[in-house]
Amino acid sequence: MIKRQLPLLIAFAMGVIFIIQFFIPHQISQDLLTWVNKWLMIIGGISLLLGIYSLLNFHYLQIFRNKPGWGFSLIMFFSFLISVVVGFTPSLINVILPLPESSVQSAEQVKEWYRITGLKDGSSLDWIFRHGITPLSATMFSIIGFFIASAAFRAFRARSLEATLLLLAAVFIMLGQTPLGGMLWSGIPDIMTWILSTPNTAAKRAILFGIAMGSISFSLKIIFGIERAYLGGKN
């Protein structure tokens, strides 16, 4: 009962409460919405740690069991430690060594040095973000640009009427987005606008209806306990 039924009851109760809450403008109802959302934000912050634990656990096992590529897992741990140590050290120092109160000026200088949150512009963690994470992240996703060109040559064939329509639409959009389209023929930007605002809108709207109805039915299945996969486990 407490392992399975009670969580389902909680899901049902919260779901029904918040469906009804939408229609009640009273202040108590609005306060309930505010507080529960605040709690969800806090739980979301704690849940971030879960994902990271799972990543670290995987790499710990790689090293511990001497699996192929364990050297990379070691580098990963080292990188993680750098981020965490750099991020937390200023705060820990601030807690362990209290700020001197001898003069306002020196207290301000010490506070500036220690940087309580470690997140502000110019802090060490911010440096890692700007000069480590940013170039790596930006480059990682830019690689796709090269592969799109390769795919355009090797895979995009006008094999059928549908494929031809797809290619024609793509070509008009690619030309219309840049000044080249307008330079070649003044009608290209207008055709691009029509493609986006008429057939594209129709198709996307239908897909949107489908997704909306799917998400509503999924939400209802969660509330009524039909969908239980999120609980996990056998018992």
Partner 1 sequence: MPESITTMQIIETWLAVGFTLMIYTFLYKDNPIFKLGEYIYVELTAGYAVCYAWFTVIWPDLIYPLYRALTVSFHIKQWEKPLESHENLWLIIPLVLGILMLTRFSSKFNWLSRYTLAFIMGSVSGMSIPLVVSANIFKQMVPTLNPFWGPEVTIFQTINTCLILVGVIAVLIYFFFSVEHKGAVNKVARLGIFYMMVSFGAAFGYTVMARESLVIGRVTKLIKWASPDYYYATIILLFIIIGLVVLTELFSSRGERTE
Partner 2 sequence: MTSEPKFHIIRWVIFALVALAIIIPVIVSEKIKLPDTSSRVVKNIYDKIESLPAGSPIILSIDFDPSSDEELRPMTMAILRHVFRKKLRVIGMTIWSPQSSGLMGDIFTTAAKMENKQDGLDYVIMPFKPGGSSVILNLSQDIFFTYPKDYKDKSTKELPVLKGIRTLKDMKYAMCISAGNAVDVWIVYGKEKGKMPLGAGCTAVMATDYYPYLQSGQLVGLMGGIGAAAQYESLIGEKGIATERMKPQTVVHSLIIILIVVGNIVYFTRRRKG
What is the footprint of partner 1 within residues 82-121 (CB under 8 A)? 82-84, 87-88, 91, 117-119
Residue closest to 197 by CA, chosen among 221, 176, 211, 218:
176
Q: Which residues bind partner 2 (CB under 8 A)?
A: 30, 33-34, 37-38, 40-41, 44-45, 47-48, 116-117, 119-121, 126, 129-130, 133-138, 140-142, 145-146, 148-150, 152-154, 156-158, 167, 170-171, 174-175, 177-180, 182-183, 189, 193, 196-197, 200-201, 204-205, 208
- Which SS3 state, helix, strand or coil, does residue 157 take? coil
Q: Which two tokens stand for residue 208?
A: 């949107």
Residue closest to 218 by CA, chosen among 229, 234, 207:
229
Contact 205, 197 (CB under 8 A): no
Q: How far is CA 176 from CA 70, 117, 182, 183, 194, in A?
A: 49, 47, 7, 10, 11
Q: Which does 179 bind (CB under 5 to 8 A by kind): partner 1, partner 2, none?
A: partner 2
The site string for partner 1 over 158-197 (x = CB under 8 A, - otherwise) reads ---xxx-xxxxxxxxxx--x----------------xxxx
Residue 204 CA to residue 46 CA, distance in Å, equals 36
Residue 124 CA to residue 90 CA, distance in Å, equals 9
Q: How far is the CB of 53 from partner 1 (least distance, A)?
A: 6
Q: Which does 193 bind (CB under 5 to 8 A by kind): partner 2, partner 1, none?
A: partner 2
Helices and strands (H, E) in the chain, number of each type? 10, 0
Interaction with partner 1 in 24-63: which residues (CB under 8 A)?
33, 35-36, 38-50, 52-53, 55-56
Q: Which is nearer to partner 1, 110 or 225 (CB)?
A: 225
Q: Which is nearer to partner 1, 97 or 168 (CB)?
A: 168
Q: How far is the CB of 129 from partner 2 (least distance, A)?
A: 4
Q: Which does 92 bind (CB under 5 to 8 A by kind): partner 1, partner 2, none?
A: none
Interaction with partner 1 in 114-153: which residues (CB under 8 A)?
117-119, 125, 128-146, 148, 152
Q: How far is CA 195 from CA 155, 163, 173, 198, 204, in A?
A: 23, 16, 8, 6, 12
Q: Which is nearer to partner 2, 109 or 193 (CB)?
A: 193
